[in-house]
A and B are shown apart, each in its own frame.
Chain A
Amino acid sequence: MGWNGKTLKAMREEVDRLTEESGYYAGLKELPFKQSDPIRFEKIFSKLRGGLVHARETAKRVAASPIVEQEGELCFTLYTPEGDSIVTSTGIIIHVGTMGAAIKYMVNHNYEENPGIEPGDIFCNNDCQIGNVHPCDVHTIVPIFWAGEVVGWVGGVTHVIDTGATGPGSMTVGPVTRYDDGYQIACRKIGKNDILSQDWVIESQRSVRTTKYWLLDERTRIAGCHMIRDLVLGIISEEGVDSYRQFTREVIEEGRRGLINRVKAMTIPGKYRQVSFVDIPYRHEDVEVPPYAKVDTIMHAPSEITIHPSGQMELDFSGSSRWGWHSYNATTVSFTSGIWVMLTQTLIPNDRINDGAYFATKFDLPYGAWMNPDDIRTAHSYAWHFLVSAWSPLWRGLSRAYFARGYIEEVNAGNANTSNWLQGGGYNQYGDIHAVNSFEAAAEGMGACAVKDGLDHACAIWNPEGDMGDMEIWELAEPLVYLGRSIKPNTGGYGKYRGGCGYESLRMVWGAEDWTMFFMGNGYISSDCGLMGGYPAASGYRFEAHGTDLKERFANRLPFPQGGDARPADAGYEQVLQADVVKRDKQAITTEQIFENHDLYLNYLRGGPGFGDPLERNPKDVEKDLNGGYLLPEYAQKVYGAVFTKDERGHYQVDEVATQKRQQEIRKERLARGVPTREWMKTERERIVAKDAAVQVRHMYATSFEITPKFLEEFKEFWDLPVDWNLLEQELEMPTFGSSHRMVNKQK
């Protein structure tokens, strides 16, 4: 049922073979359609792109979920019969690749024969091991037929609020295996003749907590897919099927060439190296997981970008740590596909997002690492936690290229670790079983640029259209009243240009029953470095209060916690609050905790890293930071060397001359405390030889060494370690489930 009587599988094999043999997508060394009739070619592209964006904007009004309707967590993409993406809408464009992976899975598993592919069919997938980021991104996939053959597919995805996992919420922290991740739909036919099967509707409604949102999200996806199917059929009837087929091939090859041209225009050939980390503090009492998962460890994501003079880019993540018993594993397609989300905001800021860019890039993702698990048991419910952190350094690496090339306006020091995510569920204020995922995380601090500060509380790399959403809408969707929403000072990394600051929301549980929530962010670690002298963003912490006296305080009109928690160590909220239990600590990841009405939860959204030496920051900008509430005064002194006064109205004024003098003194202090790097390395080497580091640090290295022997060799060479030096997981005082026996992922 493919083109010219071929099976879809045969088409897939042919495209792969031609691409491999020639180096051009589908063997297209020339682009005859584009070259001979460029206006018509562009017209088809514009119609498709405009139609996909229009379908997204229209269909999202069908949804009731604020994640979709307010935050825009949806996307539609058009594919070739083999599953290569041609054009995509705006939105969560990571799914350009993931829905393609699902289509390829159906093609490779002979869906033509069984269950059959017919006009009007509707398929569904959310299985990460097949092609997804995390189970809450549910795909609806519809074939497009023309004269009895499949001319393509359209896929639509929305981020649903709940998938029936062990804990409520779309990106639950509790799961440590695939079997905890919730409802898994593996490329299943769920409808015929454009109508959903009743057994599917019944089963899916009984499998998730947020039934109403699930139903309307599904209708959103179907509506968009059908709009796009009609659009494609209209274009084919106008242009002819042969022209459409040729267009789809050429536009992907054009996308491949487009990336190479941009690389040559914007960067410098060479090698760029960077790294990021995420803490996994699972030995804590507030992380309820099986004993084999009770492990403190660290996610390690080193990356090396090689840009060849040919313009081809290689991304090598050798040395990454092993997958683990937590909710943050990722699959290769989510890892590679998500990189395009980032690149569209920096290297390829145009609408030609398709699989061409994928074909222009070579990836090395070590088998067995957290982004390429060699075991089907892995959980993925909060894959973004690692993904976003691992991608951020790529932005920093490319920024070195932009800086060297002179395009300094494109420099970005990285992005915030996108946390915290406020999630949970129970019975809501309307008496319904419910789950929440506050997408306030869609607005965090952006990394600093080389010409200006990062945006404050306004950005999330994984969703270019991110928005914190209106408090009033969240209060309608969640049984959680706002007692404050404030800028979080000192959260953006300091620098000549500082990272954008995050913000925080203080929420009080109200009108809920049997309600639980959990925390999910970085706590012990800041996930990113700064750039060229700038500092990383602040790390995380949690605040929650249980058994409070707020009901009495409201009744008696007594003071109560409001606004922000600017100096966490001052415990300001506790000054106007009595509570049975207050948790204020660095444990920023927890599993479900019970929350009663009048309990408090602080949702702290992180800042972005800084650029350049903070001593070079314009004193007037430090003054603005002080007066705007972005910087606490003592850090203006310590980090920026600012000397200032505060008038009776609380307005700060920086003394530029005195500041300059103080900054000279700080420079002298640096020379006094700094030691030659090679001298410091001698003492650090002694620690390594003695294996002197916290167990989580040693575990991270042990898993990286095991997966990538090259990383071990380079490590030993750098530190000049004895030839027989090694660090094995078995040496560590912790469970090592999964370190030797694997239930190898045969489902690929």
Chain B
Amino acid sequence: MAEYDRATIEELIDGTIDFFKLKEMLSSFKDPGRFDTYIEVLQDRVKWQDRILLPYGLHLYVVQKTDGKRMIKCDCGHEFCDANDNWKLHALVYVRDTEDRVQELYPEYLAPDPKWQVIREYYCPTCATQLEVEAVTPWYPVIHDFQPDIDGFYKEWLGRPVPDPAG
């Protein structure tokens, strides 16, 4: 079974990994210890103390507060909402629904027609990072992309309880 050291996982996260090393990684069996190494690196990199239970997206995490509450949190420290809620409803949104707005992104003829499709950009209200982009028809409900079963994952797949809030 494959196993990678922390430095390799950091290279992967930073996008600096050597192409041939990456190719080998893609072609090999997966390393079952990856999740723990990955969490360890991510936890060391954030400036706050809350325990990361699950990486939720680029810059976003499901964290556990000391009172046991689970929140979706940006790495800048902004806390969006409860882990079961849709964080996008607590973000800033900018909707590109006119030709001028879509043509800021794509050359004319290569941009979607806003009568058919709009582009919604969701920003973190604190650090202004663009965290998700939806390309949908007008009226489309804000998509709740991901609802992880964290308890099921820890207990049934990792074979250990969800980390203790006190710990």
Binding site for B on A (CB under 8 A): 264-266, 268-275, 277, 279, 298, 300, 307-309, 397, 400, 403-410, 450-452, 490-491, 494, 496-497, 523-526, 528-530, 532-536, 538-541, 567-569, 584-586, 611-616, 618, 632, 635, 638-639, 667-668, 670-671, 673-678, 680-681, 684, 687-688, 693-694, 696-697, 700-701, 714-715, 718-719
Contacts of B125 in A (CB 8 A): 671, 674, 676
Instruction: Pick the residue among A406, A452, A638, A668 that contacts B15 (CB under 8 A).
Output: A452
Instruction: Pick the residue among B9, B107, B113, B145 that contacts A632 (CB under 8 A).
Output: B107
Docked-complex contact B143 and A272, CB < 8 angstroms = no
Q: List B115-157 residues whose CB lies under 8 Å from chain A.
A: 115-117, 119, 121-123, 125, 127-150, 152-153, 156-157
Contacts of B110 in A (CB 8 A): 490-491, 538-541, 568
Given contacts A490-B106, A675-B92, 10 further A-B contacts (CB under 8 A): A403-B58, A452-B15, A490-B110, A525-B117, A529-B135, A541-B110, A612-B58, A681-B142, A693-B137, A718-B141
Docked-complex contact B131 and A533, CB < 8 angstroms = yes
Identify the interface centre among A271, A274, A397, A526: most chain B CB within 10 Å of its CB.
A526
Docked-complex contact A273 and B137, CB < 8 angstroms = no
9 chain-A/chain-B pairs, Cβ below 8 angstroms: A490-B106, A490-B110, A496-B15, A526-B117, A539-B106, A613-B130, A674-B92, A684-B139, A697-B138
CA distance A636 to B146 in the complex (A): 31
Contacts of B104 in A (CB 8 A): 638
Docked-complex contact B147 and A271, CB < 8 angstroms = yes
CA distance A341 to B156 in the complex (A): 29
Docked-complex contact B58 and A409, CB < 8 angstroms = no
Contacts of A403 in B (CB 8 A): 55, 57-58
Contacts of A274 in B (CB 8 A): 143, 145
Contacts of A307 in B (CB 8 A): 149
Contacts of B148 in A (CB 8 A): 268-270, 404
Taking the closest CB of chain B, its distance from the CB of A668, in whole angstroms, is 7
B95 within 8 A of A: yes
Docked-complex contact B145 and A697, CB < 8 angstroms = no
CA distance A718 to B89 in the complex (A): 11
Binds A, one of B31-39, B43-51, B63-71: B31-39
Docked-complex contact A451 and B12, CB < 8 angstroms = yes
CA distance A715 to B136 in the complex (A): 14
Taking the closest CB of chain A, its distance from the CB of B133, in whole angstroms, is 4
Docked-complex contact A675 and B94, CB < 8 angstroms = yes
Nearest to B156 among chain A residues (CB) is A309
B90 within 8 A of A: yes
Contacts of B138 in A (CB 8 A): 684, 687, 693-694, 697
Taking the closest CB of chain A, its distance from the CB of B114, in whole angstroms, is 9
Docked-complex contact A269 and B15, CB < 8 angstroms = no
Taking the closest CB of chain A, its distance from the CB of B30, in whole angstroms, is 6
The 9 tightest CB contacts between A and B, nearest first, are: A674-B92, A406-B38, A568-B109, A667-B128, A538-B110, A309-B152, A270-B148, A569-B108, A269-B149
Contacts of B32 in A (CB 8 A): 265
Taking the closest CB of chain B, its distance from the CB of A595, in whole angstroms, is 21
Given known contacts A272-B145, A687-B139, A533 and B92 CB-to-CB distance under 8 angstroms: no
Taking the closest CB of chain B, its distance from the CB of A371, in whole angstroms, is 19
Contacts of A668 in B (CB 8 A): 128
CA distance A524 to B25 in the complex (A): 39
CA distance A693 to B115 in the complex (A): 7
CA distance A476 to B112 in the complex (A): 36
Binding site for A on B (CB under 8 A): 9, 12-13, 15, 17, 22, 25-26, 30, 32, 34-35, 37-39, 54-59, 88-95, 104-113, 115-117, 119, 121-123, 125, 127-150, 152-153, 156-157
Contacts of A277 in B (CB 8 A): 117, 135-137
Given known contacts A407-B34, A530-B135, A275 and B140 CB-to-CB distance under 8 angstroms: yes
Docked-complex contact B113 and A524, CB < 8 angstroms = yes
Contacts of B12 in A (CB 8 A): 408-409, 451
Contacts of B130 in A (CB 8 A): 533, 613-615, 670
Taking the closest CB of chain B, its distance from the CB of A536, in whole angstroms, is 4
Identify the interface centre among A264, A569, A670, A675: most chain B CB within 10 Å of its CB.
A670
Contacts of B132 in A (CB 8 A): 530, 532-533
Contacts of B119 in A (CB 8 A): 535-536
CA distance A175 to B122 in the complex (A): 40
Docked-complex contact A639 and B108, CB < 8 angstroms = no
| Main SS class of interface, A | mixed
Contacts of B129 in A (CB 8 A): 533, 613, 615-616, 667
Nearest to A567 among chain B residues (CB) is B107
Taking the closest CB of chain A, its distance from the CB of B44, in whole angstroms, is 14
Contacts of B139 in A (CB 8 A): 684, 687-688, 693, 697, 701, 719
Given known contacts A532-B57, A568-B109, A670 and B137 CB-to-CB distance under 8 angstroms: no
Taking the closest CB of chain B, its distance from the CB of A696, in whole angstroms, is 6
Instruction: Pick the residue among B22, B34, B107, B128 that contacts A451 (CB under 8 A).
Output: B22
Docked-complex contact B137 and A404, CB < 8 angstroms = no
Docked-complex contact A529 and B136, CB < 8 angstroms = yes
Contacts of B54 in A (CB 8 A): 268, 404
Contacts of A639 in B (CB 8 A): 105
Given known contacts A538-B110, A719-B141, A298 and B116 CB-to-CB distance under 8 angstroms: yes
Taking the closest CB of chain A, its distance from the CB of B57, in whole angstroms, is 5
Contacts of B57 in A (CB 8 A): 400, 403, 532
Nearest to A535 among chain B residues (CB) is B133
CA distance A719 to B141 in the complex (A): 7
Docked-complex contact A273 and B143, CB < 8 angstroms = yes
Docked-complex contact B136 and A400, CB < 8 angstroms = no
Contacts of A526 in B (CB 8 A): 112, 117, 135
Docked-complex contact B133 and A677, CB < 8 angstroms = no
Given known contacts A266-B30, A530-B133, A639-B105, A670 and B95 CB-to-CB distance under 8 angstroms: no
Docked-complex contact B123 and A674, CB < 8 angstroms = yes
Given known contacts A275-B143, A536-B133, A569 and B107 CB-to-CB distance under 8 angstroms: yes
CA distance A529 to B117 in the complex (A): 11
Nearest to B29 among chain A residues (CB) is A265
CA distance A269 to B54 in the complex (A): 12
Contacts of A523 in B (CB 8 A): 113
Docked-complex contact B149 and A635, CB < 8 angstroms = no
Docked-complex contact B55 and A533, CB < 8 angstroms = no
Contacts of B137 in A (CB 8 A): 277, 298, 300, 693, 697, 700-701
Taking the closest CB of chain B, its distance from the CB of A516, in whole angstroms, is 24
Given known contacts A264-B157, A266-B30, A524-B116, A586 and B136 CB-to-CB distance under 8 angstroms: no
Taking the closest CB of chain A, its distance from the CB of B132, in whole angstroms, is 6
Taking the closest CB of chain A, its distance from the CB of B113, in whole angstroms, is 4
Identify the interface centre among B15, B93, B109, B147: most chain A CB within 10 Å of its CB.
B109
Instruction: Pick the residue among B91, B93, B149 that contacts A309 (CB under 8 A).
Output: B149
Nearest to B36 among chain A residues (CB) is A406
Contacts of A397 in B (CB 8 A): 145-146
CA distance A530 to B112 in the complex (A): 14
CA distance A517 to B121 in the complex (A): 38
